[in-house]
Structure 1
Amino acid sequence: MKTIASRLIALFTAALVLGAASTTAAAGKPRAVAPLGNPGNWVTTEDYPSRALRYEEQGVVGFLLTIGTDGVPLSCKVTQTSNFEALDTQTCNLLMERARFRPAADAFGRAAEGTYRSSVRWTIPEDAPTEIGPAEMFVSFEIGPDGLAKNCKVEKAEGTLPFPANEPCGPKGRFAVPVGKDGKPIMRRVKMRVVIEVEDVPPAQ
C-alpha cells in the first residue's frame, strides 16, 4: 500500500510532466525583426554628404544592424563598402538615428535581440545643389611639341570646390607649340593656381 508521502511525490511528478508538456505545446516559431514604416525613408537623397556631392561619389553601402529588444538599433556594421568613407559613415549614422523595428521574439513570444541586413544605393540626383566656398587648387600639365596637353596633375586642392578636384586636368584644345631659344619645339610645363574667394553681399538699401 502506498503511503501518503509516496502519493504526494507521484502527484508532484505528474504535475511537473504536465507543466512541461503544456509549455512545449505553447512554444511557437521565433519571430524575426520587422521594419516599422518605410525603410526607403530612412536614407534619402536629401541626406547626401556635401563632400560626396562635391566629388561626385556614388555607390552601394551594405549594412548589418543589430536590433535591441526595444526595436532600436544597437550597432551598425558596413558589410559592403561604397569605397567612399563619407557615404559609408553617413549610412550608419542615419540608420542608427532613424531605423525602428518590431523587435524579434523567441519561441515563447519573449522580445529578443535580432539583426537586419540590407543596403543603401547612393546616386547623385540630377537636381543636386552645387556647393561653393573658399578654395585653392594647384594644377600642372605639360605642352608637348605637338601643342597638346599631357601629364596633367592636381598637385593640391583645399576648400569647397564647385567641381570635382580632377576636373581642371585634361585641358581641351591645342596650344601654341612651345619653342626654345633655338626656335625648335620643346616640352613646356604649365602650373596653374586656381583661387576661389567667397564673400557675402550686403542687402540693397
Structure 2
Amino acid sequence: MSIILGLAVSAALTGATPMGSPGRWLTDQDYPPDARRRREQGAVAFTLLISPNGMPLKCNVTRSSNFDDLDKQSCTLLMRRARFTPARDIDGNAAHTYYRGFMYWSFSRPTPLVYAPDIDLQVDKLPGGAKEKTVSILVQTDLDGHVVACNLAKSEDNEPKNLVAVACKEAATMSPMPVRDGDGRSVTAVRPLKVSFATALP
C-alpha cells in the first residue's frame, strides 16, 4: 500500500479545530449538584467523532473520572456546546474526524494531562541528541480503515521530515481503523495520531 506524504503534495490533511475557546465548554454552573455536594472531582478523557459540518456525532469517555455524574455531564456538555471548523482530506474536502481532550472537574487548579502516544517506536538516535521525541501526524483512512494519506499535523510544522516519514510509514502498518458515522455507515476520515520516538538504552 502506498502512502501519500502531505509534505510532497499540493494539499494536506488538516484536523478539526474548535470554534472559540474549549474552556467555554464548561463553567462552574455546570457542576452536577450531587457531585458537588459529595466533593467528587476528577479528569474525564474523551473522544468526539466530528462530522464534516463540524458538529459532534458521538462522545466516548476514554478515561473515567471514576464518578458517573461527572462522566455523563462531560459528554452532555460536549455534544451541546462543542463546535468545530471541519477537518479536510487530501483533496480539500470536509471529512469526518476525531477530537480528543480532557474535561477537568476540580475544586482547585487541576494538573493538565496528556494523551498517551498511539504508536511507540525505538530508534538508534534522534536529531540533536534527544532521547525522546513525540510527533503528531494526521492520517486519512478509506472505507475499510486503511491509511491512504499521511502528513504532519499543522501545529508541528518544524518537525524533521525523516521522523514524519517514519511515523507515517509505521501508521500504515497498523491494523485497519474503520470509522463509522452516526448511522453506522463506514466513512473515509482524517485521524490524529501521536507517535513517540525513544532511543534504545545503552
Question: Relative contact order, CA 8 A, sep 6+: which one is greater?
Answer: 2
> How high is the TM-score relative to the length of structure 1?
0.48
> How high is the TM-score relative to the length of structure 2?
0.48
